[in-house]
Amino acid sequence: MTSLTALTIAAARDGLRKKQFSALELTDAYLAAMEKARVLNAYIVETPEQARAMAKASDAKLAAGQRGALEGIPLGIKDLFATQGVHTQACSHVLHDFKPQYESTVTTNLWRDGAVMLGKLNMDEFAMGSSNETSYYGNVINPWKRKDSNAALVPGGSSGGSAAAVAAHICAAATATDTGGSIRQPAAFTGTVGIKPTYGRCSRWGIVAFASSLDQAGPIARDVRDAAIMLKSMASVDPKDTTSVDMPVPDYEAAIGRPIKGLRVGIPKEYRVDGMPAEIDALWQKGAEWLKAQGAEIVEISLPHTKYALPAYYIVAPAEASSNLARYDGVRYGLRVPGDDIVDMYENSRAAGFGREVQRRILIGTYVLSAGYYDAYYVRAQKVRTLIKQDFDRAWDKVDVVLTPATPSPAFAPGEITDPVQMYLNDIFTVTVNMAGLPGISVPAGLSADGLPLGLQLIGKPFGEETLFQAAAAIEQAAGGYTAPQWW
């Protein structure tokens, strides 16, 4: 038999059902693989005892014929999700020693369906970053390397630990979150599949807040089918999050393999940005050809406000972050650094607890919200958001789904991008989706000249996740899958 960790969720599900192996054997295989892969720094906390206890419980349920949708499937959990009694610190020093007394709704749903927790995954501090270089726990190493090179590369961010762990087969799939591209960009950098669902599809309760009007949870998985299986379990309406949507969660897996004949695929001309590498452009055209060959109709469309999405994002996201992160004051939880008085204590704790990128965004957010600037910045940005959303609303008259590149480049080296604005440009193709609240999926579609994975993004109508899985599966079928050669 092939190695248990090589199995997708769908394959492991079959193996468990046929009793080819037990949930405990599967979990033990992952725990051993995690130990070998520590050089990647994907996990910041491993929870082997909990994992084994959960796997044993799954074996008991499997024996009794009570199989949940993810029964016995070992998962990695991004450090942003509250897990009761287990390290949950958003990879920030400011949450030093924090162990929540409660469980996030998304992880509660996963455990309800029988999934097993392997540990907590590394990420950019408070999900602010595109390279996993801002984590208090150090960089994550991408399992992929350039052809003929030994140099380490970033896995993307902020869900860099999730993407690297899925690509390295040290979890069957992982939870992740996406505020401006934090699921789709690392998925593209690691040859994995990542979907940010429609805003409101997953509950945000128990997820450490970054920018509340943009944050959404979603999975990173090895293929489109596994992403569909994961999202079905993660999504729910939740009385604890009033922005979660009371709509039935469809059987996303059923959308895979549905013919795409007649599907109208939009190609937005504004995504052909200056300086875009030829290989990204070629990949994009190839993706359109693959869909066309399977019967889809390719339609040129225009989304005229695309270029304003990123600057508007860098008002809205820091503004909301500066407000959300005001709670870290050294009083109720986390790091406390003493001071001369209480304000001095707040200032010392926050200065010592937050890293550079987080402090930068708090300062920007505080500035744009400060007296006299609110209308000029935040309100204007929210108006631009309306225009971005209207661009898409008009496009939906002509197309069912939009195809774009996922990222403007393949993975880069740590330290290669030091200018904050240059780093922000990584999210140029993904951030519009958050601004409009739409679902977006990144699917691996090819390799760069250097041998690194490249992804394509499909953007859907609100709650059009099924169409995304259907179209992404069509791309996957044409492109094939990509597995990082194991060097660790």
CB of residue 250 to another protein, shortest distance in Å: 16
How far apart CA 485 and CA 452 sit, in angstroms, is 11
The question of whether 158 is a catalytic residue gets the answer yes
Residue 156 vs 334, nearer CB to another protein: 334
How far apart CA 172 and CA 26 sit, in angstroms, is 10
DSSP, collapsed to helix, strand or coil, labels residue 128 as coil
Listed residue (401, 487, 484, 399) closest to 439, CA to CA:
401
Residue 58 vs 92, nearer CB to another protein: 92
Cβ–Cβ under 8 Å, residues 218 and 438 = no
Half-sphere exposure of 44 (CA within 13 A, CB side): 29
How far apart CA 430 and CA 409 sit, in angstroms, is 13
- Catalytic residue (one of 22, 92, 135, 158): 158
CB of residue 320 to another protein, shortest distance in Å: 13
The question of whether 182 is a catalytic residue gets the answer yes
Listed residue (364, 366, 360, 334) closest to 349, CA to CA:
334
CB of residue 390 to another protein, shortest distance in Å: 9
Determine whether 345 is exposed, middle or buried from the number of CB atoms within 10 Å of its CB (0-12, 13-18, 19+): middle
Residue 277 vs 304, nearer CB to another protein: 304
- Catalytic residue (one of 22, 58, 159, 182): 182
Listed residue (415, 70, 404) closest to 269, CA to CA:
404
CB of residue 160 to another protein, shortest distance in Å: 22
Torsion angle of the four alpha carbons 219, 222, 227, 229, in this order, in degrees rounded to the nearest 10: -120
- Catalytic residue (one of 78, 120, 196, 461): 78
Residue 445 vs 468, nearer CB to another protein: 468
CB of residue 349 to another protein, shortest distance in Å: 9
- Strand 116-121 relative to strand 74-78: parallel, antiparallel, unpaired? parallel
User: What is the separation of C-alpha 333 from the centre of its chain, rounded to a whole number of angstroms?
Assistant: 26
Cβ–Cβ under 8 Å, residues 62 and 23 = yes
Residue 10 vs 384, nearer CB to another protein: 384
The question of whether 261 is a catalytic residue gets the answer no
Catalytic positions, please? 78, 158, 182
